[in-house]
Structure 1
Amino acid sequence: MSLKSKVIAHIDIDSFFVSAERKSNPYLIDKPIAIASKRKNAISISLSYEIKKFNISTVQPISQLQKKIPNLVIVNPNMNLYLDESESFFNFIKENFSDKIEKFSIDECFLDVTDFYKKFNNKEKMGFYIRDEIKKNLNLPVTVGISFNKYLAKMATNLAKPFGVKVLEKKDIKKEIYPLELQALPGLGRQYSKKIFKNQNLKISDFINYCKENKNINKNLFHIFQNLTSIGDDKILVEKKTTKLVSRQFTLENNDNYDAKHILEIIKILALDISNKMKRNLLSSNLIFLNFLTFEHEKKEKKLKLSSYIDDFEIFYKHLVKIFNALWDYQNIKRITVGFLNPVFRNNQKEIFTKPNLQDNKVESLIEKVNNQMKLNILLTLRQLKENKNKNKL
């Protein structure tokens, strides 16, 4: 291992929505919790570990969950709570561990802790410190994975969940990672692995051999292979203050089949988060987008240019639903990204002040029609009256 290798941490809040609700309402601690709406055919969007330990998939009709777990407690999603906790989580990390942070989802991030690590000289000790500080100060349980690239740091987190710490060094890969089932690879997905490899019983070591023997593997497989066998991707994509993009993304669990209702619930949470951020920063935009990345690594994206600049959640979400309906084709989605493009400060929106208002145009047309019928020119709009006054001053 090169001396220049970075120390990358991946931090993920355990059952985030459930943990946020328990922080708000301690009565829910140790109860089997499902986060879901009160609708008749509701589907869970988050489950507590009291349920997950039975290998129950996150995406479940509530009616089926209630049959399996009679004492199930259903909690209605509180999006504002989750967004507030998410913001506090990221801010705390920036202020206390590293400002080289890449937000990967609403409840997880990557950190370059190469400098922070120097205080400890023991990666596991550093991981426990990070975990315990977040729990003590934010009352949120997290799992911390540490390695030399982002992919392996996330794998370490998956292996340590819940509320654990795991370090993966170069020397550990063959011993600890290669014997695992193929489905343990983040970003591969069960459906995709079936399609490519046909055999469900393959190990990660089989995947490594397959990639070595096949020179024409696709970009997704090559990316995973590189992260397992070399330095891999250790670049932290820090969010820039002056950006042409304001977006949020959500990564879905590998083995869950998400239907349209569930995905729209996620899009709604992301949309609320972004619109709140736009308002806080006095930004608005007239160009929005929705992006899907499938487990087959196919990217589907659609942009929509609006007639006016917005920051409003309701309007933003309404248009995102339209885009979703145009894109959705029941594919196995790995990641959802929504956002605004080319945001501007509100006082820079010259179009608002220079472009004729449609309502004004209608009024002017009506006044012109009346004046023509009366063969007089006595009716004026307020704008026309002001223009005449200015002319008289010259």
Structure 2
Amino acid sequence: MNVGSFLKIMEKNKKVIFLLDMDAFFASCHMAKDPSLRNKNVVVASPNRRAIVTTASYNARKFGIRAGTPVFKALEMCKDLYIANSDFSLYIDYSEKVFDIIYNNFTKSFEVASIDECYIDMTKTWKKFGTVKNAAQAIIDMIYKETGLTCSIGISTNKFLAKTCVDFNKPKGISFLLEEEIEEKLWPMKVEKMFMIGPATQKILNQNNISTIRDLALHDLNFLIEILGKRGMTLWYWANGKGNDEVTREASEFKSIGNELTLNFTTTNHEEIEEIIYELSLKIADRAKKRFLQGKTITIVVKYLDDNTSEFYNDKLRKKHITKQESVQELTNDPEIIYSVAKQCFYELWTGQPILLLGVRISNLANQIEQTKQLSIDEIDLYEGIDYSEVEKVIYNLNLKFGKDKIFTGDKLLKYIEKNVVQSKFLKNDDVHISNEQMINKWKNK
């Protein structure tokens, strides 16, 4: 692909869309943190007896180890395997660093697709680098220099084609797929290689003699809608090279703030699940604070393994994307409160199925700066005609500098817990009469 081809694209008012995909992301994060692991056969897994590999480094993949391989089997396949325990705080930290690099050095027009993927609209930016390929290489080089992580980039005129071609040349690769190339590059692929086609959808398509993307593209659209619902139309458009080219960075930010993590594996490990919920809560709390936003409604989002969440309704396949939400008494962007409510919602929702996706969202937002509310007794100027202790004055001054209620005394903590925890919907009614000590212990356990 040369610059001339993309100049023709620009003349047609087509966009230049990148899909950035981190290479073996979870394993790579461990190797970036500890460079001594770089030449080892690294896999990532949960620390339990029935663990499966969630990510295998490219060294480990040479032995045939893939995501989903049981750890005991992986040890048989590679005797000198290095097993790193899952660490979602590490992954989210590196994810944030990667997205910050794009935001601060290339363009603010990007859209996070998952913890290790994002779409980047380079339509107005690539010319600064001479060619589209040079622009992609500049991103790859800077991410490696700043983080020690490698990534690959797929390039096209819409998001679907960019995502599809990123796997053509991994790791550290740059790939192109344009609409005029779909018959040659896209159509020969098996339908199961297509984004959003899981085992259940593949089975339905195969039963109707649709085995390649070409079969899908040339099939009757009405029939696809009949057997797959609205998703049949989306898949048909994608198979014909059409797709959405709108890259929006947190388009719904002021209605809600949320993060979802699609796993490279499924898990039923409650400690791992709680860790993910906690890290997501920290992340959205941080984003809310940076924008001076607080929310009143907290939502947990759960998606199960395809085979367990696909059902037929009026002969149409549907996936369950389950959510549960609760509201708190006062607006908040406190990560501990967000986590507590989200975790409680999760356990009220979950019945033990393998988890494929987890998300946390805060909504019903209000801007802290623009909020006008009546001052409560403890917000009135401490120095106004009343003699307060030195401790109280120090607390007041620190709260003035860093924000209300960053520091408070024990008796105020009890009042806060009583107001925000005991009255909260996710506690049972009989909890209202528990003692202060029990209340604090219950809050800690949350």
- The match for 2:260 is 249
Q: CA deviation at 1:152?
A: 0.9
**Map of 1:157-306 to 2, 5 A cutoff?**
157-198=166-207, 202-212=211-221, 214=223, 216-217=225-226, 218-239=229-250, 243-253=254-264, 257-259=266-268, 261=270, 265-281=275-291, 283-292=293-302, 296-306=318-328
Residue 250 and residue 359 in structure 1: after superposition, are their counterparts in 2 closer, same or farther (change >3 A)?
Answer: closer
Distance in 2, matches of 1:90 and 1:83, equals 11
Q: 2:225 touches 2:232 (CA, 8 Å); kept in 1?
A: no
Distance in 2, matches of 1:273 and 1:169, equals 35
Residue 213 and residue 222 in structure 1: after superposition, are their counterparts in 2 closer, same or farther (change >3 A)?
Answer: closer
Opposite residue 105 of structure 1, the aligned amino acid is: S
Is 1:15 the counterpart of 2:37? The answer is no
Residue 127 and residue 85 in structure 1: after superposition, are their counterparts in 2 closer, same or farther (change >3 A)?
Answer: same
Unaligned ranges ≥5, structure 1? 363-394
Q: Secondary structure at the match of 1:216?
A: helix
Opposite residue 132 of structure 1, the aligned amino acid is: D
Distance in 1, matches of 2:276 and 2:289, equals 20
Is 1:117 the counterpart of 2:139? The answer is no
- The match for 2:398 is none
Q: Deviations over 1:249-284 (max 9, x none)?
A: 22345xx55546565554443233223434555544
Q: CA deviation at 1:144?
A: 0.3
Q: Deviations over 1:200-240 (max 9, x none)?
A: 98111122233546263422232122133254200112225
Q: 1:148 touches 1:231 (CA, 8 Å); kept in 2?
A: no
Distance in 1, matches of 2:331 and 2:255, equals 15
Q: Deviations over 1:127-155 (max 9, x none)?
A: 22322232233321011000111111111
Distance in 2, matches of 1:265 and 1:200, equals 43
Q: CA deviation at 1:27?
A: 0.6
Q: 1:152 touches 1:228 (CA, 8 Å); kept in 2?
A: no
Q: Secondary structure at the match of 1:214?
A: helix
Task: State which drifts further: 258-267 or 70-79.
Answer: 258-267
Which residue of 339, 343, 346 maps to 1:317?
A: 339
Distance in 2, matches of 1:359 and 1:263, equals 31
Residue 337 and residue 263 in structure 1: after superposition, are their counterparts in 2 closer, same or farther (change >3 A)?
Answer: same
Q: CA deviation at 1:330?
A: 6.9
Task: State which drifts further: 131-140 or 17-26.
Answer: 131-140
Residue 283 and residue 64 in structure 1: after superposition, are their counterparts in 2 closer, same or farther (change >3 A)?
Answer: farther
Q: CA deviation at 1:34?
A: 2.4
Task: State which drifts further: 262-271 or 9-18.
Answer: 262-271
Residue 211 and residue 12 in structure 1: after superposition, are their counterparts in 2 closer, same or farther (change >3 A)?
Answer: farther
Counting matched residue pairs gives: 358
Opposite residue 237 of structure 2, the aligned amino acid is: Q
Unaligned ranges ≥5, structure 2? 1-8, 307-317, 378-411, 419-446
Task: State which drifts further: 260-269 or 319-328.
Answer: 260-269
Q: 2:40 touches 2:82 (CA, 8 Å); kept in 1?
A: yes
Residue 258 and residue 152 in structure 1: after superposition, are their counterparts in 2 closer, same or farther (change >3 A)?
Answer: farther
Q: Percent identity?
A: 28
- The match for 1:84 is 93
Residue 37 and residue 28 in structure 1: after superposition, are their counterparts in 2 closer, same or farther (change >3 A)?
Answer: same
Task: State which drifts further: 141-150 or 236-245.
Answer: 236-245
Q: 1:123 touches 1:167 (CA, 8 Å); kept in 2?
A: no
Opposite residue 228 of structure 1, the aligned amino acid is: A
Q: Deviations over 1:285-344 (max 9, x none)?
A: 331112245654443222121344444444433432333334446778765432111234
Residue 98 and residue 359 in structure 1: after superposition, are their counterparts in 2 closer, same or farther (change >3 A)?
Answer: closer
Which residue of 137, 148, 151 maps to 2:157?
A: 148
- The match for 2:6 is none
Task: State which drifts further: 69-78 or 339-348.
Answer: 339-348
Distance in 1, matches of 2:59 and 2:167, equals 17
Q: Secondary structure at the match of 1:127?
A: helix
Distance in 2, matches of 1:40 and 1:53, equals 24
Which residue of 19, 26, 35 maps to 1:26?
A: 35
Q: Secondary structure at the match of 2:168?
A: helix
Distance in 2, matches of 1:240 and 1:201, equals 36
Provide the aligned C-alpha RMSD in A.
3.4
- The match for 1:380 is none
Residue 201 and residue 54 in structure 1: after superposition, are their counterparts in 2 closer, same or farther (change >3 A)?
Answer: farther
Q: 2:191 touches 2:211 (CA, 8 Å); kept in 1?
A: yes
Q: 2:255 touches 2:363 (CA, 8 Å); kept in 1?
A: yes
